[in-house]
Amino acid sequence: MSPNLLIWLDGKLVPESEAKISVFDHGLLYGDGVFEGIRIYNGRVFRLTEHLHRLYDCARAICLTIPLSFEEMERATVETVAANKLRDGYIRLVVTRGVGSLGLNPYQCPKASVFVIASTITLYPQERYENGLHLITCGTRRPNSAALSPQVKSLNYLSNIMAKIECIQAGCEEGIMLNDQGYVAECTGDNVFIVKNGRVITPPISAGALDGITRRAVIELLGEMSVPCAEQNMTRFDIYTADECFLTGTAAEVIAAVQYDRRPIGDGKPGKLTQELIKRFKTLANSTGTPVPYA
C-alpha cells in the first residue's frame, strides 16, 4: 500500500493509516456485509453502473440498508479514484453491517459502514497471461445456492479462501470449484469458459456461478464476433477435453488456462479464440467507462 493512499470512509477521505473500523462491526465479527471489485482503465471506471446495481441488489438480498443513494455511492467511488490520481487500478467498495452487539441480531446495528479503496492490483504474474494458468479441482465445494445465493458477494469468502489454499499448496494459481451435484460452478475468484469445436460454453448461474461483470462483457464480445456461446452444466470431463479454456474476472480480466489436473487443455497453449478475446477486451476496457475528473 502507498503511504499516501486515501480511503473514503463513511463520508470522508482519510489517510490509509487512519482508516479504521470498530472491533464491534458485524462485518468483522460475522462477515456480515457485501462488496464489489471494480477496475479503472485509462482514467475511466469500467462498468461502474453495473457494479453498483449488483452491490445494491446484494445488500437488498441480505436486508442491509446502504446509507448512501446510488448517486452518492457513484460520486464517492469516482472521488476516491481522483483523490489517489489513479488512471489504471482497482477499486474495492465495501459495505459492512456496522457496529452492533456481540450477538447475531443485525437489527442492533443502527447504521451500515461504507468504505472505498482505490489502489493497484496484480492478480497473476505476467508470464501466466502470456503462457496460461494451471488449474486443479478443489475439494472445497461451492455452497448450495439454496442456502445462500451465489449472486450475493458477501464478506464471508471462507469457502473461496479454503479452495485458494488448496490451489497454492498444489502449486497452481487457480482451481475449479464444483457444486454439490458435482458440476463445475466457477473458480475460486473467476468465472470459467471452455471452447469446443468453435462453440463456447460457460456454467449457468444456477450451477453456483457468480453473474460476473467481466463474464457478461465477454459474452457480449462473443456475440459481436458471431461465436456461439451457451450457458449449460459443465463437468470436469468437458474441461479435460476442451480445445481451449479461459477465465474471466474483474481482477483477472481474461486469461487462458492451459492445464487442468495435470492434463494439458488442447495443445497446452493459449488458444486463438482466447487470445482474440483478450485483445478485444483490452480495447473495450480502455475505451469505455465512467470518466474520472482529475483536479
Report the Cα 288 to chain-centroid distance in Å: 19
Name the β-bridge partners of 231. 202
Spatial separation of the C-alpha atoms in residues 20 and 51, rounded to whole Å:
24
Residue type, 124: Y
Looking at the annotation, which residues are catalytic? Answer: 153
Q: Which ranges in 156-271 belong to alpha helices (H)? A: 158-169, 213-224, 236-240
Query: Among residues 23, 19, 25, which one has the least CA distance to residue 6?
Result: 19
pLDDT, tens digit, 9 for 90 and up, residues 79-134: 999 999 999 999 999 999 999 999 999 999 999 999 999 999 888 889 999 999 99
pLDDT, tens digit, 9 for 90 and up, residues 214-232: 999 999 999 999 999 999 9
Do the two domains 6-119 and 126-286 of this chain adopt the same fold? no
Spatial separation of the C-alpha atoms in residues 267 and 47, rounded to whole Å:
34
Q: What pLDDT sits at residue 148?
A: 84
Domain ranges of the chain: 6-119, 126-286
The DSSP 8-state label assigned to residue 210 in this structure reads -
Q: In the CATH scheme, what is the code of domain 6-119?
A: 3.30.470.10
Whether pLDDT at 173 is above 80: yes
Query: Among residues 242, 225, 228, which one has the least CA distance to residue 283?
Result: 225
Q: What pLDDT sits at residue 82?
A: 98
Q: What pLDDT sits at residue 2?
A: 58
Q: Which top CATH class is 126-286?
A: alpha beta
**Count, residues in the chain:** 295
